[in-house]
Copies of this chain bind each other. A is one copy, B any other.
Amino acid sequence: MMKNVISAVCIKCGAEHEAIPTITTCPKCGGILDIKYDYHYIRKNLTKEKLADRKDASMWRYMEFLPVSGESKVRKLRVGMSPFYEVPRLAEMLGIRRLYVKDDGINPTASLKDRASAMAVVKAEEAGVSTIACSSTGNAASSLAGNAAAAGFETYIFVPERAPKGKVAQLMMFGANVISVRGSYEDTFELSKEAIERWGWYNRNAAINPYLMEGKKTVALEIAEQLNWEMPDYIAISVGDGCTIGGLWKGLKDLYAAGFIDRLPRIISVQAEGCCPLNRSIQEGKDWYPMEENTLADSIAVGVPRNPDKALNAIRESDGIPVNVSDEEILSAMKTLGSAGIFAEPAGAAGTAGLKKAVGLGLIPADASVVSVVTGSGLKDVANAMKAAGEPISIEPDMALLLEAFRNKGLK
């Protein structure tokens, strides 16, 4: 029994359903569901002061904002409360007043997806199911594998064959049953859906399972708390499937509704130029339609987004700014973040790339304060990191050779 949750509402037909642990899409119309809270209850049971005193340095510190029936007994990895940095040098470089980076690469399996997977494991436990499945471009997969392994649950994971080796190695290491599908993300998703229905596994496909976005929204709760509830003007985030931006926005709206923040930032929605069906929809003022997946940022290479409605709502409702970036701009943003000690995977740096571009285009004023969310670690995709980083000086162990190499590079 969740005292803080009222229902699961369909964002398409508006029908309200009981928020049982296994609910996925709307039983009436097939639409995507949204978890509806009793904000009065939250307000009564949680204050900023109470939160400040909590020792739990994980996403579960926000229990009153989460759709769970109580303290789960399942063994959990420590997900969330990732580092939050102010980076004045980068702010100056980009030409804005204040820039913060939320580094969600620092999570147990090195991406923001851990927030959704941790939630999936807890909800699977509530549902009494101990096998969980998903399809993923990689990060959702490895995070599910890791979080489920910690809990002792079995996983079946479908990945498109293009997923980087680091991500596949990670989930194999966690003991997942991995199915590499020789096809697109769309093919992968469809096969996983069929298998999940056939065997009754718990479904960790984020677009279909409304609880997962509730896990993801904790990134917004943390940003707010880490900023001492003073909201920035903008939050930049990369967009693929649409669930992460949807979760971010849901978290902000929940905080606003419960009176924890007094204004809502505008969302900078960043997609890759080669795969931007959602931003294109906003920019063209038309319904979205599928697009090819032409970008090295594999985590946001989603030509058929599974959660278009929530993503588009997030952009529209927040008076958001859609920005599309090239692969070169992404690689360059990886170096920019690196120069502040933050190592992001391409999709993780895309938000920063988009921010840089938006500033350059005059879409963001110079006195703006911005949070850029890094959604995954650069260690997940070393091949692309090498593209951005270049090669080291390589010499025999000899001081004369070192001096020569430095001269050639213009060093010292």
Contacts and interface: CB of A to CB of B under 8 A. Distances in A.
Report the copy number of this chain in the oligomer. 2
Contact of A174 (B109, B182, B343): B343
A9 interface: no
A385 B166 CA distance: 8
Interface in A373-412: 377-380, 382, 385-386, 388-399, 402, 405, 409, 411-412
Interface string A147-182: 111111000000101000110111011110111111
Interface stretch (A62-70, A190-198, A208-216, A255-263): A190-198
Contacts of A390: 172
Contacts of A182: 394-397
A179 B408 CA distance: 13
A312 interface: no
Interface stretch (A37-45, A319-327, A331-339, A361-369): A331-339
A6 interface: no
Given A83-B108, A182-B395, A339 B378 contact: no
For chain A, the bracket of interface size reads 35 or more
Contacts of A347: none
A340 to B, nearest CB: 6
Given A57-B57, A169-B386, A379-B166, A149 B341 contact: yes
A106 interface: yes
A335 B175 contact: yes
B378 A173 contact: yes
A78 B378 CA distance: 17
Interface string A73-85: 0010110010101
Interface in A187-226: 187-188, 190-191, 194-195, 198-199
Given A169-B382, A179-B394, A191-B399, 10 more contacts: A106-B108, A169-B389, A172-B385, A172-B391, A173-B389, A179-B392, A182-B396, A187-B397, A195-B399, A379-B380
